[in-house]
Chains A and B, each alone.
Chain A
Amino acid sequence: MTSTIEAPAITPAALAPTGLRLPRHLLSAGDLDRDAALHVLDTAARIEQAIGGREVRKLPTLRGRTVVNLFYEDSTRTRISFEVAAKRLSADVINFSAKGSSVSKGESLKDTALTLQAMGADAVVCRHSSSGAPQRLSHWVEGHVVNAGDGTHEHPTQALLDAFTLRRHLGELAGRRVVVVGDVLHSRVARSNVLLLSTLGAEVTLVAPPTLLPVGVQTWPCAVSYDLDAALVGADAVMMLRVQQERMSGSFFPTAREYSRSYGLDTRRRNLIAPSGIVLHPGPMNRGMEITPQVADGVGSVIVEQVANGVVVRMAVLYLLLGGEGAA
């Protein structure tokens, strides 16, 4: 494991007596300016400090609030992570998955939203296979909407937990070089990370085969390269993306083997990054495809830590969105 350095000093924004308000809904990582993003990360660090290593890993903060996990798409870690986060804050959690619900009888998103509204959901955590679904949802419910991944659009809490993990190992992110590799076209993780990390001052380079880069990528606040070896040299962190077979309708590369040869992270490539550099993956991994098991389980891999950090980051998001609900 890489050494964990001391958490960066708390920023003045976090010391503001009334705190900083987040947008009403967390739909895009781009909605957070630098102060708001740092406020979430600092709050997560404080929460981790408050519950770390103690007997009762629970806080009474959101007692009596209801958080609905509205998942129209399969998910293990995100749903469980949000569920654990809400429960650690003493909120009541209702899990809703499209399978086994009225959705299979043909109920629309709007009607489902109105049903949740009638039951008094204070926050709705939404994952949907269509880009923009949480945005639509935010017009229909009175509670706060958190985007937990919508189609190929965004996954802001994943970007926040990645930034939290990076900050822990690298310190302040300004000027740090982060290489994001793989299926950018289908990746909401890449989109949110580019937005958030550039807001925080990091230099992001996307590396992917041309077929897996979205149209208009040149307008994103990042560099683009097709040469993985060159991009990796001296990088502070490399983030591998999952090859999303389930979203691929056409053929984007000749064979899995060829993809792995050109864009997979093996031990030789891993050694090109800075000595203190770290390896991230949002999971689930296709071992042997975009990343070899040796690298995934090897030195500098923070993939398991990312999952643990996801819980405290989501606790921070829920606290900051739901805290002070009744305040003017």
Chain B
Amino acid sequence: MAPARPADSTATSGSTLLSAADLARTIDRIAHQILERTAGDAVLLGIPTRGVYLAHRLAERIALFSGRACPSGSLDITLYRDDLRRRPPLALHETRLPDGGVDDATVILVDDVLYSGRTVRAALDALRDHGRPSVVQLAVLVDRGHRQLPIRADYVGKNVPTALADDVVVRLSECDGADSVTLVRSA
């Protein structure tokens, strides 16, 4: 699971992986790829916190490109994590599924950074308790490698080779004031 973001993420320096304009283009590209593979007939579920904003942005772009509304929502995975016994209880986030539910739908899970794959594993478990989608796919903004589970993304914004100690910081205007993705190398 993605490591906890430093509290003063605005102050982090590092090499920029995606600028605000890059990020917008990347989201447009993923939206087109999703359209190509699903004809826009998909339900986008973001994983809190930043995955939810990305899912909403993707759904907006898909709706714009296809002319059809694309439902999106959020899926909190905290209660499905596999490290609950190892850390103090975490605050829960919002779960909001689109009205149509997920039964027999093509569900695309959306997250900001794909790392160990444990978040996605938890999301798959959570999704199973909400219904039975016909297909589940995964879209991520950044794939930084170091998988600990056999999980792979269907749509990737950018593949970034990283060292274990590095940190990929995704900032989105909805919660961080500006759009950017930076790679902070360990000292």
Contact = CB atoms under 8 A, between A and B. Distances in A.
B82 to A, nearest CB: 9
B84 interface: yes
B88 interface: yes
B90 interface: yes
B68 interface: no
A56 B86 contact: no
Nearest to A49: B95
A323 B88 CA distance: 6
Contacts of A326: 85-86
B88 A46 contact: no
A323 B84 contact: yes
Interface stretch (B28-36, B123-131, B157-165): B123-131
Nearest to B90: A19
Given A55-B131, A59-B79, A19 B84 contact: no
Interface string B118-156: 000000010011110000000000000000000000000
B80 A60 contact: yes
A43 interface: yes
Interface in A53-98: 54-56, 58-61
B88 A43 contact: no
B85 A325 contact: yes
Interface string A33-63: 0000001001100110110001110111100
A324 B85 contact: yes
Contacts of A325: 85
Contacts of A15: 91
Contact of B91 (A43, A54, A327): A43
A323 B76 CA distance: 16
Interface string A146-171: 00000000000000000000000000
A319 interface: yes
A46 B94 CA distance: 6
A60 B126 CA distance: 9
Interface residues of B, number: 23
A5 interface: no
Contacts of A222: none
A60 B4 CA distance: 23
Given A320-B89, A327-B87, A49 B96 contact: yes
Contacts of B88: 18-19, 21, 323-324, 327
Contacts of B130: 54-56
Contacts of B76: 46, 50
Nearest to A323: B89
Contact of A46 (B86, B95, B125, B131): B95
Interface in A106-157: none
Contacts of A60: 79-80, 125
A250 interface: no
Contact of B84 (A20, A50, A55, A61): A61
B93 interface: yes
A299 to B, nearest CB: 29
B92 A39 contact: no
Highest count of chain A CB atoms <10 Å: which of B92, B93, B128, B131: B92
Interface of A: 14-21, 39, 42-43, 46-47, 49-50, 54-56, 58-61, 319-320, 323-327
Closest 10 CB pairs of A and B: A323-B89, A46-B92, A56-B129, A324-B88, A61-B79, A50-B95, A19-B91, A59-B79, A327-B87, A14-B91
18 contacts: A17-B91, A19-B91, A42-B91, A42-B92, A47-B92, A49-B95, A49-B96, A50-B76, A50-B95, A54-B131, A59-B129, A60-B125, A61-B80, A319-B79, A320-B89, A323-B85, A327-B86, A327-B88
